[in-house]
Amino acid sequence: MMKDKETIVFFSGYHIPHLGGIERYTDNLGKQLIKAGYNVVVVTSNYDNLADTENINGLNIIRIPIYNVFTNRYPIPRKNKKYKNLISELDGYNIKAIIVNTRFHLTSIVGGKYAKKRKIPVFLIEHGSQHLTVDNKILDFFGLIYEHLLTCYIKRFINYAYGVSKEASRWLAHFRIKADGVWYNSINEFGKDLSLSKNGKILNVTYAGRVLKQKGLDRLIRSFIKLNYKNVQLNIAGDGNLLSELKSKYSSYSNIKFLGKLDFEKLSKLYAKTDIFVYAPIWPEGLPTAILEAGYMKCAVIASPYGGTKEIIEDKVNGVMINDEKEMFDALKSLIDNNKLRKKYADALYETVNKKFLWKSTAKRIVSDISEKNK
């Protein structure tokens, strides 16, 4: 690897093998930047005694030490000798831009400060469209104040700001940050070699993502149980703080499968056999990768009209939007009963994703923006 080659550096709270939407966004965009001729470095937290430095699929990973608190939710950099040595490794690169993921991770401040000292342009990517929540009104209140204070501080280091959806870009205005555009969350082409097994003896309804209260999984499961169809299976793929409770609560239902966290290969196979994909959180998000992946694999999708999802799904055109449990029940029943309707929505959503949300086209716009701002 030639360090004098033009380099883009990401600062991100977490990165692969930690799984999440931001991690996959960074990984996919980084790979596209490598194809475009850049070196790519990801500075992230060492949350689980991983290697301090590593090359994963061409991305150079630097993992800085963090304190042993909130390790899986909110990494706090530990600025010891190892931290300083690892950050100093960046000095050997010909850095053209620094990209910081989210306003609220302290790694974004680390990246912003590093860039300001060296007069490197900083690009902020906003991944959300609402304040963070931990499902506790008191903690959420203080979290809101903290988020505003942190954002106010980090603004001084940011040169340009983009959202992963139009909704995320609009959300930046809440913090008096002017968005320079949209860098859409996207996906790579995948699954072409999978043998699709939809319309088999078992009709599969699937959710994939973090298993949290905000994801609306209880209303999905309750609706599924009320339908009481034979030969219909509900698959819940993912991990999170609600998983144990749900597994215990619904353990007696043999047609509800809790699959845990799946790697992308296994997840792709699950999409391939899924007839109806449900991703209907009760809290706004940026632009859910899971909906894009399910759409690309020609699943009929049920979603909720929050955040960037409205930029993917058009109700009764390429999917179904629901607002409450009754609408969830009705949408499931309608799609389970009507194969032609499922196919209509699935085909239409595939065209939407293929036309607008593939990394090969999104990355070209991002490369163009970075080049333009560096002039």
Element (H, E) at 340: helix 339-356
Whether 285 contacts 309, CB under 8 Å: yes
Alpha carbon 308 to chain centroid, angstroms: 11
What confidence tens digit (pLDDT) does each residue in 31-44 have?
999 999 999 999 99
**Predicted pLDDT of residue 19:** 77
pLDDT of 201 reads: 84
Which residues of the chain are under the pLDDT cut of 50? none
Please tell me the predicted confidence (pLDDT) of residue 276. Answer: 98
**Looking at residue 151, what is its pLDDT?**
94
* Contact status, residue 261 vs residue 168, Cβ threshold 8 Å: no
pLDDT, averaged across the chain: 93
The domains located in the chain, with CATH, are: 6-186+358-373 (3.40.50.2000), 203-356 (3.40.50.2000)
The Cα–Cα gap between 45 and 61 comes to 10
Residue 121 burial by Cβ neighbours in a 10 Å radius (0-12, 13-18, 19+): middle
- What's the pLDDT at 2? 63
**What confidence score (pLDDT) does residue 273 get?**
94
pLDDT in the model for residue 1: 52
Q: What is the pLDDT of residues 293-326, one digit of tens each?
A: 999 999 999 999 988 999 999 999 999 999 999 9
317-353 CB burial, b ≥16 within 10 A, e <16: ebbbbbeeeebbbebbeebbeeeeebeebbebbbebb
Instruction: Please say whether the beta carbons of 10 and 41 come within 8 A.
Output: yes
pLDDT at 199 (0 to 100): 67
